[in-house]
Structure 1
Amino acid sequence: MTVLIERAGCVGREDELVELTSRLARTPASGSAAVLVLGDPGLGKTALLRGLADRVAPPALTAGAGAWEQDCPGSVLRQLLGEDPPDDPVAAADVLVARAAGEGSADEPRLVLVDDADLADTFSLQAIASALRRHREAPVLVVLAATRSTPFLGEIAADTVRIEGLDVAAVGELAVLRGRVLHPAMAEVLTRHTAGSPRDAVALLDELPPARWARPDTQLPAPAHVRDEVQLALAGCGPEDRALAEALAVLGDHASLGQAAALAGLEDPLSAVDALAAAGLVEITRDHRPRWRTPLVGVAVLATMGARRAADAHQRAAAVVDDEVSRARHLVAATPLPDAELADEVARLAQRRGDEGAWAEAAALYRDSSRLTEDPVRRDDRLIRSVDALVAAGDGMGAAALVPVVESLRETPLRDAVLAYLAILRGRASEAEVRLERAWDIVNADREPETAALIATRHVLHSLALCRGDELVTWADRAISLAGRDSAAGVEAAAIRGLGLAMAGRFEEAHDAYALAARRVGHSAQTQRVTMGRGWLDVLADEPDEARSRLEGVTDPRILGGSTRIAMWALAWLARVQFLTGEGEAALQTVAAGRALATTSGIALVTPLLEWTATETHLLRGSWEEATRTARAAEVGAQGYEIMRVPALLARAHIAEARSDFRAVLRILEPLTQAPAGSALSEPAIWPWAETYAAALVAEGRLEEADEFLRPHETRAREEQHRSAQARLATARGRWHGARGDLDGVRDTFDRALELLDGLPLRYDRARVTFAYGQALRRAGRRRDAEALLSSARDLWDGLGASMYVDAAERELRAGGVRAPRGHRGPVDLTPQEETVAEMVASGLSNREVAAQLFVSPKTVQYHLTRIYAKLGVRSRTELAAMAAEPTEEP
């Protein structure tokens, strides 16, 4: 099977290749070294060594060990040297180093590769060990690849590189190399099925026909080489050993040893466990529970049983397992033909599990029920419901792969609602709108209240993504009325309804609604939905500590059978909380977790929200390239829904603001000023964009426009008594007063802003308000008062790790001049403001950019610049920059 891997290339091992080539490059300075590469059979160790050899020059010395040559002294050395080695391992070591050095430069790195080193003969390993010890200064790297470590290998190699199974992207790349273009969901299935083994993945890609790769719900077999190995191993086992192996294969990974023993009819299964371990089929855990060496072994054991024996075993297994879902799935596996009674039983169980929020189980059960259903209408309905459950579970990729199948079915309200649901999670607002309207038009709510309620809950999610609070509440109430408050649709609607109330500015009602919903769901999978919505509300309502507590508990979709979609929302808002409270590193880690879920689930709706937080965090740190990258990631596909579009625009606007490009800020945020009536975009508590837009208007000198723009937002925030929104808007208003020369207005407004933030752990907002206050006072000539605020802002920014804004605060302090004694200004008597302007202009900033950062007019900058030119005896910006670049003479 090694040939298969070599033909596929060294895919998915770039990190390992980089690490090994880096180690090789260090050998001229560090001396000779050995690295042990460990990995299970089939993971591509041979391909890794070949890929490494292809990257280096001069050519590496290579060898591969074999079990049949272990008793042949020097067999590996003979391959490395191309001739018989000396009889003494020490002499052989000297020859090996000399051969590796060749005729090149003495300090040129050299590479020695040994595959299957755990099978190498002792003499060769002794010679390699002696070579490393006796020639420590030689620039030689020995890479030993092995399936298992041995004491001798561990002694030779000080470092170990472990290789694991390939990830989904690498398996997809392997498929392309084999002439198969897999849907991402199918690549995920193949990766999970083979545990990322390149050998097994390539074998299946070659062995199975193209039709088997069209649907991710297909049952993949074990590759032929695994079936052959397992059949040979089982042939050497006794009847009881084989019976236990078959029982383990039928029951699956989650069964206990006691259940497997009962199915196999064994009173004492431990002897059989030992036998299976000796045959290389299982590994034994600490609690004596056998575990397949790889997942494919269990699949291969089932294949050796044949259809009849496997079906009989599944029938018996249904009486052994202790939960109803496992029982149902064993009965389905034992039933090859349609069975209406069993199909109905499984469908009812699927609905119950869906009602409880265990959507992944519901999806599998609905699919099983569909297979057993003969009536075509009911069969299609159950298949559609299985796709709907996949979407609800957050498996957007798996559901998307089945879209062609669903679209090929006759049109029904349920079909359109399911396709709309998937369109929402993929961020396709127009498609979702059309499908939802069509579904609602053709459903008969009197005859199909359950389906009508489901369509209404999809409208709820659609309205949430469009940020239409009142519309959301209307659809939620309609869903609850149709299905009942305690139904799955009712709970789903209630879990989002509170957010609609908040988006409409009805925060007190929103809190009451969530308190009621939490009491109704108790402790179940639906708890995840209600808790996430409540945590989201806490973020919007200035309650970050409560938000963190709730959101941290629902970020893992595996808990209580929860949903990946809900977990992604929880991660997005948790990252926001962490950013606002000054936990930048934690925020980036949370964003990374959210990105990972987005990649595996295919859900695009939450990505811009994650990347907005990442962008702002990178900006604080002065990481411009990273901020630009994440802002671009936020923009991908963010045109459909407001909940995607607004974070993407904010990310871009904050980059422009940090660059003092206020014209760009206004251009970027202008679309948000056109929000229709009823949109949450006009709610300052929901989206913090209005203060950024207003501050840009002030910076551009458009004071009347700024005043007119701010008034309705200020009124709204004041009526809702939303503290952080009032404080943020007051920052823009304070700047407005400063631009008009109204010092009393500056003080009153900023003091009020800081008072509003008092007691709230919103460190980011407090830093922004304090910094803006200091800027406004410095511009008004109140330098000593400004110094205290700017010093405080600098310390706040420093605590947030905001290096860029620490520099900005230091620049403001220098411009104020309070801390700069005249004797320290140098031979030319520039004022503190002139020194700051000169420094910024010399760094390449335009007059407009300097003015924006110092919060003065461009005319003021030009005035200072004219005086600077005269004092320094220069005539242009270029000469000023050149003077600044000259080294300062020591006194």
Structure 2
Amino acid sequence: MSGMCGTGQRRRPGPDEALARELAETATRAGNRQAAGVALAAFERAVQLSEDPAERGRRLLAASEVASQLGDIGAARRLLGEVVDEHLRPADQAWLSYLRETFFVTGWSGTARLAVYAELVDALRREGDLRRAADALHAMGLRFFWSNAEPETIQLYLDVADQFDAVEEDPRLVATVAMIAPIERGAVSLERITQLRTRFDLNPAELHALGLASGAIGALDMAAQFYAAAAAGVRAQGRIGVLAQLLTSQAFTAANLGDARVAVPAAAEAASLATETGQPAWALTARLMLGHAEALRGDGAAARQAADLGESILLPSGRLPMLALVQTIRGVEALAGGRPEDGYRQLHRIFDPGDVSYHPQMRFVTLGHLAEAAARSGQEGALRAIVTQLSPVARECGSPALAVALRYAGALLANDAAVFELALDADLSGWPFERARLQHAYGVWLRRQRRAAESRPLLRSAAATFDALGAVPWADRSRAELRASGESLRRSVDAAGVLTPQELQVARLAAEGLSNKEIAERLFLSPRTITTHLYRIYPKLGIKSRGELARLMADST
């Protein structure tokens, strides 16, 4: 390999298309093995040796993508700058347009070019370049989630995807179909993803893709597992550009699961890495996820600041579907701040097709908050209409998040012990926030029925779970209801509330038993910085050793 890339005796002084082709194949194989550094070196040398202008352009495009994975957006932009548009084949011209939009942030084209990109994917497939065709299709899948595409465009992409031979077995193709059509193909995609979860040979890119797909469908519990496994692999590979994107998605999942203690450090690191690697769109999304987590924690000022920042950027740039993230923050912050009527008004915009913040799939993960806001502000009639509208959608797509939220909303509307019991009998092991929210609602109902003794175990459990998730306002409400029932419960130590996001991340890793050197490698910091963080963490938590830290962190999870 070193000789082929120009450091050994096999180096040739002038263009050599045969050697360039061989190097490009080597680069592709390296990319398949997730060896991005080797792939980039091989692609760049292949570019230097290329005789065919069209092939040179295609290799420059491939090299720029690999550079972005490594977090070197400057190199990605430099490589794209060397591309001569008129030398490219039509499919590559379309792909160049997409990459320029991605790396140079030239403006969001939304759904306008989706049909053109579909033709690109199909052209690559017909040419036999199945790897690039699948990669391009996967890239479009993520765009679909934030585009609110028309049914005709969705069907166009499904027709293209169905032409691939391995669409039912290939993890990335399975994931792509789920992201393109999470409602139309949600149920079958969920079944395939569940089957793929048992495989031990999935690489980080495949795990990342399956996490995205699980999140699109609303299988947030599965998405969290895929992201955790993918993050470990991507860190080991040093692909910090991809890591920034992955951590942003992990924070999205954690925040929508109500887990502020995972969402805060993931979002903070994602925002830092995305900024460092020149990915402003991902940096903004990470900041919105941090705002969502701060809303869960009860930091209204930080949440409102994040929402205002997001709106100020997303509205002018035309990324309107992403405004659903802004409305989620505002709705959750209002709920946390004791303003349920405002919370309902903010969240309802996500459910209104006539509103710029409308987002079909974000309804799945925000319905629980909307239902809580409606019940607390006396808007049960409006909630009932939404439940009626979404129930057939749930049957069609099989979204776990939507099913969980509908059970909760149904219990609130039924106002009946048997319905509460039935909802709690469902498997909510992967949905601790939703289980606690249901326990709280049932406990409140029982207390108001003068069944205080029966309400206490439910309220006690709800408070403990909310505390463990860092959802302080919800925990405080459960404790208040518990006091009204005749029992008091002291608030637990909240590490997430007193530590900065990076300190919390260091604390978690130290509690897991990692050394300062290992933590530094994991977070791309120096061991000395880790020592400084721990020096600050101990007095904040009132502890003096790693052993105490491990016990405290274990008690809070």
TM-score by length of 2: 0.68
Counterpart Cα distance in 1 of 2:175 and 2:399: 23
Following superposition, the deviation at residue 633 of structure 1 comes to 5.6
Cα 1:407–1:804 change in 2 (3 A) is farther
Following superposition, the deviation at residue 654 of structure 1 comes to 0.4
Counterpart Cα distance in 1 of 2:126 and 2:397: 42
Determine the structure 2 residue equivalent to 1:353.
30
Of Structure 1 and Structure 2, the greater helix share is in: 2
Counterpart Cα distance in 2 of 1:503 and 1:568: 28
Counterpart Cα distance in 2 of 1:363 and 1:476: 32
Deviations 1:232-256 (A, max 9, x none): xxxxxxxxxxxxxxxxxxxxxxxxx
Q: Does 1:591 align with 2:272?
A: no
1:518-557 map, 5 Å: 523=201, 527-536=203-212, 544=221, 547-556=223-232
C-alpha contact 2:298 2:333 (8 A) present in aligned 1? no
Q: Does 1:751 align with 2:421?
A: yes
Following superposition, the deviation at residue 682 of structure 1 comes to 3.9
Determine the structure 2 residue equivalent to 1:790.
459
Cα 1:424–1:476 change in 2 (3 A) is farther
Structure 2 unmatched ranges of 5 or more: 489-557
Determine the structure 2 residue equivalent to 1:372.
49
Determine the structure 2 residue equivalent to 1:413.
91
Counterpart Cα distance in 2 of 1:458 and 1:578: 23
Counterpart Cα distance in 2 of 1:819 and 1:531: 46
Report the RMSD for the aligned CA atoms in angstroms. Answer: 4.5
Following superposition, the deviation at residue 764 of structure 1 comes to 1.6
Deviations 1:14-40 (A, max 9, x none): xxxxxxxxxxxxxxxxxxxxxxxxxxx
Following superposition, the deviation at residue 782 of structure 1 comes to 5.3
Counterpart Cα distance in 2 of 1:810 and 1:491: 45
Cα 1:625–1:380 change in 2 (3 A) is same
Counterpart Cα distance in 2 of 1:516 and 1:806: 36
Following superposition, the deviation at residue 765 of structure 1 comes to 1.5
- Aligned partner of 2:444 among 747, 769, 775: 775
Following superposition, the deviation at residue 723 of structure 1 comes to 5.7
C-alpha contact 2:296 2:333 (8 A) present in aligned 1? no
Per chain length, whose mean CA-contact separation is higher, i.e. which structure has more relative contact order (CA < 8 Å, sep 6+)? 2
Determine the structure 1 residue equivalent to 2:141.
460
- Aligned partner of 1:497 among 153, 174, 177: 177
Q: Does 1:659 align with 2:329?
A: no
Counterpart Cα distance in 1 of 2:8 and 2:150: 46
Determine the structure 2 residue equivalent to 1:765.
434
Deviations 1:65-88 (A, max 9, x none): xxxxxxxxxxxxxxxxxxxxxxxx
- Aligned partner of 1:804 among 459, 468, 473: 473
Counterpart Cα distance in 1 of 2:456 and 2:148: 42
1:317-356 map, 5 Å: 324=1, 327-330=4-7, 334-356=11-33
- The residue type equivalent to 2:91 in the other structure is P
Q: Does 1:475 align with 2:157?
A: yes
C-alpha contact 1:429 1:641 (8 A) present in aligned 2? no
Following superposition, the deviation at residue 441 of structure 1 comes to 5.8
Cα 1:699–1:382 change in 2 (3 A) is same
Determine the structure 2 residue equivalent to 1:114.
none
- The residue type equivalent to 1:751 in the other structure is E
Following superposition, the deviation at residue 414 of structure 1 comes to 0.7
Cα 1:439–1:818 change in 2 (3 A) is closer
Deviations 1:313-363 (A, max 9, x none): xxxxxxxxxxx2563232599545434443333233334434555444334
- Other structure's SS at 2:465 match: helix
Q: Does 1:669 align with 2:347?
A: yes
Larger deviation, residues 658-667 vs 605-614? 605-614
- State the aligned residue count: 476
1:62-461 map, 5 Å: 324=1, 327-330=4-7, 334-391=11-68, 395-406=72-83, 412-421=90-99, 423-424=101-102, 430-431=108-109, 433-438=111-116, 448=127, 450=129, 456-461=137-142
Counterpart Cα distance in 1 of 2:103 and 2:191: 26
Counterpart Cα distance in 1 of 2:383 and 2:394: 17
Deviations 1:549-603 (A, max 9, x none): 5432321565685855654454345445656778644442223332233223333
- Other structure's SS at 1:688 match: helix
C-alpha contact 1:665 1:693 (8 A) present in aligned 2? yes
Cα 1:456–1:688 change in 2 (3 A) is closer
1:9-48 map, 5 Å: none
Determine the structure 2 residue equivalent to 1:707.
384
Cα 1:732–1:453 change in 2 (3 A) is closer
Structure 1 unmatched ranges of 5 or more: 1-323, 738-744, 821-891
Cα 1:516–1:556 change in 2 (3 A) is closer
Larger deviation, residues 388-397 vs 768-777? 388-397
Q: Does 1:571 align with 2:247?
A: yes
C-alpha contact 1:653 1:665 (8 A) present in aligned 2? yes
- The residue type equivalent to 1:806 in the other structure is A
Following superposition, the deviation at residue 527 of structure 1 comes to 1.9
Counterpart Cα distance in 2 of 1:446 and 1:797: 49
- Other structure's SS at 1:328 match: coil
Following superposition, the deviation at residue 375 of structure 1 comes to 4.5
C-alpha contact 1:726 1:756 (8 A) present in aligned 2? no
C-alpha contact 1:501 1:507 (8 A) present in aligned 2? no
